[in-house]
Structure 1
Amino acid sequence: MSSQLPEPSADERAHSDRLLTHLREEIASHGAMPFSQYMERCLYAPGLGYYSAGKTKFGEAGDFITAPELGELFARCVVNATYPVLALLGSDADFLELGGGSGAFAEAALKAFAEASSLPGHYYILEPSADLRERQRERLATALPADIFARVQWLDRPPEQDWQGVLFANEVIDALPTTRFALRDGEVYEEYVALDGEGRLMRVDRPADALVSGAVRHVERDIETEFANGYRSEVLPQLPYWMQAIGGSLRAGLMLFIDYGYVRREFYLPERNDGTLRAYYRHRSHNDPFYLPGLNDLTASVDFTALAEAGNSAGFGVAGYMPQAQFLIGSGLQAAFEQAYEAAPDEAARYRLAQEVKKLTMPDQMGERFQAMLFARNMDVVPLPAELLEADQGDRL
């Protein structure tokens, strides 16, 4: 597998080796670690994890391209869907973005909010990575007028005080450290990471604890199917606690999550018997999570039924669920495209806009692979666009 991937530079390999040394020392001292802990270290270890180090992550120079990196249309549609909520809640309504990426979304969204005369009181970015936070700050300080940039504040933890407004997360759930499980002779096992006799990382299975086993049995009951012997997949038993942590202080407003994934019955199809875990390295996807730790983005698809359950348990109601293409179309994609097309300076820019729409909406691109889920809380009326409400597929959950 690794022979098909680009060779890392000497500096990159040395960086990965430093993280690998830390992982080996931790496993040697404390024993095998749950895969979720391994994934957390690979993504977020201070100074060494994928999101904590200085390597470019997003766009053509990185390892993957997110919707905001394609252009401004995605952010403008999100603004179209959410600014009526901010307007209804009043001048003290805020906007909170989880994981600001390169800052591309915040830049485009704040410009669109300003054009709609609906700027939030504050635009919060919850960004645990100091490196990404600084990149975002530099970008937004350069791109935005001073009075708009002054509304941007960075957080390293969810708000503790009650607030109202909109919480938005694009490709965040897939990066939560996931638990890997397997079924053996009818019993639930959890996947761990250990060392072999030569100090290499290896996978081992151990009997699951009550939390993991209970989460797996809940899935089986819900889909009315027992997993076959040897079936391996992912589950997020911590998702309800995470949802309460990030959304618990939102006393009134809307949450919008966009990510790739499936409803539960599609997530746990019999033929998907090795789960959805993937690694991304320089725009190439592979299935070896032990290859160059710290240089790969590790992700797992989202069980949107589990996300709905977590939102409900945190006191929110599902206000809408649909593929990304339907969300964007229902949120004014056509009008946003036409406006941008008319303002485009040349044919090359118009071509890029057309390609952007295709990537965002085509079924074999992001249109069907990505899903949008909206939650509402303490709102007598949820002022979403009528086209968006008509596109709801919540009955599939």
Structure 2
Amino acid sequence: MQKVASLPLPSADALDASAALSTCIGDAIDAAGGWIGFDRYMALALYAPRLGYYSGGAAKFGRDVRDGSDFITAPELTPFFARTLARQFAPLMGMDLPRVMEFGAGTGRLAADLLLALDDEGALPDTYQIVELSGELRQRQQETLAARAPHLADRVQWLDELPVRFEGVIVGNEVLDAMPVRLFARHGGRWHERGVAHRIVGSAGPHAFTFEDRTLPDAAVPEAVRAMPGDHDVVTETHAEAEGFARAVGAMLARGAAFFIDYGFPAAEYYHPQRAGGTLMCHYRHHSHTDPFLYPGLQDITAHVNFSGIAHAAVDAGLAVAGFASQARFLMNAGITELLMELDPSDAGAFLPQANAVQKLLSEAEMGELFKVIAFTHDLDAALPLAGFARGDRSHAL
């Protein structure tokens, strides 16, 4: 665990907001009898009204610690990410699917750059819908669109909830990893659910909360967890909320395609016996660490995605898996290197920053292998060519 002293200190106002959220979480623990599941803690830490990380006013997305942000995403790195997605989406737009819906729109950078790129492709959607519950993020998205694509901003609509029916293309970049997870720990050969309780006053440590494990009967242990080989000590997660989200998308998508980009693994890798520490991770001021109780509401809390669980839930809801590939393979298949070569390599000031950003998206040591792209379709031709999965499709691993 990284020491608090090695991380940038929040402002006094931010600390006050974190303290208020800690009180809210503490009240929830008291109301539940002294213990809540980690999924409940994570939901409050990220989404409690006006206080949670995503519902409050933290900067979140940005390039480095100087802008007050905590992490950077692919759309913030380079417009070539959106331009490559547009090359994949444009043929779908031409199949009488003139709408796009985005989840996890962040600053609005992907929305703005996608609209610009689709316009260039001659495939501009009639409407671009963003599902966003955070008022602070919605305002940032509006500002980004007004600055980067003012002539297209009137095509964007914000939704507070999913529509009953949608026809078009759905995209979600780094949205699944931010959905609350349950934690499970095996020690002494027995499975426990790892939850959150108050830290005992006077005990070591700076935080108000601590992990507390509760033994589970075998019948209450999720099948994916129970199937982990061996009897050695492990910690892992399950993703009921993300899988429920996949089912909701499946119920909503009457015709079209859905693309989700995130970091994670198929189940065989996710629940591999050597992954003994789980995948829970926190991000604060561009530092990664494993302490979810540090500054509640001021840091991101994530877990890698079990793409097999997402795929099975979507298929149960009537969708078909159209492809599953590493981000690097998907982007290269869809033409990112060809797009980059439209820049003049002799113009180092323009070419090198974009080339370096694209390399970060593609490199196995960066985002290229850890990040995956999964796509689902409904009521589309089964032979529909999706260029992003033309080579290196790993759907068989799901």
* TM-score higher than 0.5: yes
Indicate the residue corresponding to 2:205 in structure 1. Answer: none
> How far apart are residue 143 of structure 1 and its match?
2.3
> How far apart are residue 385 of structure 1 and its match?
4.3
State the one-letter code of the partner of 1:158. Answer: L
Indicate the residue corresponding to 2:78 in structure 1. Answer: 71
Q: 1:300 aligns with which of 298, 303, 322?
A: 303
> How far apart are residue 242 of structure 1 and its match?
1.9
Within 1, Cα distance between the matches of 2:81 and 2:190? 44
**CA deviation map 1:29-69 (0-9, x unaligned):** 33211100100111111111111111211112210000000
Conservation of the 8 A alpha-carbon contact between 2:249 and 2:314: no
Q: 1:87 aligns with which of 87, 94, 116?
A: 94
Q: 1:143 aligns with which of 129, 138, 148?
A: 148
Distance 1:211 1:17, change over 3 A: farther
> How far apart are residue 142 of structure 1 and its match?
2.9
Within 2, Cα distance between the matches of 1:345 and 1:150? 38
> How far apart are residue 381 of structure 1 and its match?
4.2
Indicate the residue corresponding to 2:359 in structure 1. Answer: 358
Within 2, Cα distance between the matches of 1:237 and 1:118? 36
Q: 1:242 aligns with which of 230, 240, 245?
A: 245
Indicate the residue corresponding to 2:322 in structure 1. Answer: 319
Question: TM-score under structure 1 normalisation?
Answer: 0.92
Within 1, Cα distance between the matches of 2:173 and 2:335? 18
Q: Structure 2: which 5+ residue stretches go unaligned? A: 203-207
Indicate the residue corresponding to 1:125 in structure 2. Answer: 130
**CA deviation map 1:215-272 (0-9, x unaligned):** 3x24544xxx435243211011344322122331111111111100111121122222
Within 1, Cα distance between the matches of 2:379 and 2:219? 31
Within 2, Cα distance between the matches of 1:196 and 1:333? 49
| Residue 208 of structure 2 is aligned to residue 203 of structure 1 | no
Distance 1:219 1:197, change over 3 A: closer
Indicate the residue corresponding to 1:169 in structure 2. Answer: 172
Question: TM-score under structure 2 normalisation?
Answer: 0.92
Q: Which has the larger displacement, 380-389 or 12-21?
A: 380-389
Query: Matched residue of 2:240: which SS?
Result: coil
State the one-letter code of the partner of 2:309. Answer: A
Conservation of the 8 A alpha-carbon contact between 2:225 and 2:236: no
| Residue 192 of structure 2 is aligned to residue 189 of structure 1 | yes
Distance 1:93 1:186, change over 3 A: farther
| Residue 130 of structure 2 is aligned to residue 110 of structure 1 | no
Indicate the residue corresponding to 1:393 in structure 2. Answer: 394
State the one-letter code of the partner of 1:66. Answer: T
Conservation of the 8 A alpha-carbon contact between 1:376 and 1:382: no
> How far apart are residue 208 of structure 1 and its match?
4.2
> How far apart are residue 377 of structure 1 and its match?
1.1
Within 2, Cα distance between the matches of 1:137 and 1:209? 49
How many corresponding residue pairs? Answer: 386
| Residue 31 of structure 2 is aligned to residue 29 of structure 1 | yes
State the one-letter code of the partner of 1:370. Answer: F
> How far apart are residue 368 of structure 1 and its match?
0.6
State, as a whole percentage, how many aligned pairs show the same letter: 38
State the one-letter code of the partner of 1:70. Answer: L
> How far apart are residue 211 of structure 1 and its match?
8.7
> How far apart are residue 86 of structure 1 and its match?
1.8
Within 2, Cα distance between the matches of 1:211 and 1:65? 41
Query: Matched residue of 2:94: which SS?
Result: helix
Q: How does 1:213-292 map to 2 (within 5 A)?
A: 213=221, 215=222, 217-221=223-227, 225-292=228-295
Query: Matched residue of 2:390: which SS?
Result: helix
